[in-house]
Amino acid sequence: MLLVLAAVVLGGRVAGSALSVPGPPVQVAAGVSVRPLSGWRPVRQGPGVLLTRGSGSLSVLPADGDADPATLAGAYVRQALAPNAQGLSLSQGLETVRLDGGQVGVRFAYQGTFRGQGRATPLQGEVTAVVGRRAGVVFDAWAAPEVYEYGRSDVQAMIETAEVA
């Protein structure tokens, strides 16, 4: 019976870890690379890379390595999110995150209706801004609100294993 309990309660974690082996790194910019999990397709987009799986997306944008992560996150809201969104709402405060490589960043969540491809779409997302010694990067992950939660663990795993020099 204990085996059954352990299999049910811990089996998902073990299976999840076994399935989340990152693929080969995709170079985003000098000193910035990301390792897509299986099922995520990388497409080069402007200066960065867009990773997609179904309607889930993770945009990886290189940024100025001189700014601190909070400043980088604020600039991203002003320049990328706010101009394209209606009814944008942001989570309270910034959460601190740490990548596997030791770099520290900040994270916040957002929700709003975004214009794109000729229509307005309600989206939920999460922005993570990380600065290394030489480079900075903004990760913006989003999906429809009912789908977002299901891509989140993949997104966070890819961010955690990203390299930011």
Partner 1 sequence: MAAEIQARPRGRLPRWACRASLFQPREPAFWLYLLLLVGTGLLALGQQRSLREMSPSGWVLSWALLALYLVPMVALVYLLDAYEREPPSLVVGALAWGAVAATSLAGLANHDWGAVVARLGGPDLAAQWTAALTAPLVEETLKAVGVVLIYLIARSELNGLMDGFVYGAMVGLGFAVVENVFYFVGQFGGQPAGVLGGFFIRVLASGLYGHVLYSGLTGMGIAWFVTRTDQPRGRRLVIAAAFCLAAVLAHFLWNSPLLNLFPTGALSPLELLVAIPLAAAVKGIPFLVLVVLLVVLARRQERRWLEAAAAGEVGGPALAAEELEVLERPARRWRARRAMRRRAGRRAASLLRRLQRQQLSLAMLRTRLGDEDDPDLVGQRQRIAHTRQALQAAVGRAGRPSP
Least Å from the CB of residue 123 to partner 1: 13
Which range in 31-39, 60-68, 70-78, 89-97 contacts partner 1 by CB under 8 A? 31-39
From the list 61-69, 73-81, 95-103, 149-157, the region that binds partner 1 by CB under 8 A is 149-157
Give residues 11-30 in contact with partner 1 (rule: CB under 8 A). Answer: 11-13, 15-16, 19-20
Distance CA 60, CA 32 (A): 9
DSSP 57-87: EEEEEEE-SSS-HHHHHHHHIIIIIGGGEEE
Cβ partners under 8 Å of residue 73, min gap 6:
94, 106, 108, 127, 129, 138
Answer for which of 50, 109, 147, 165 binds partner 1 (CB under 8 A) is 147
50 touches partner 1 by CB under 8 A: no
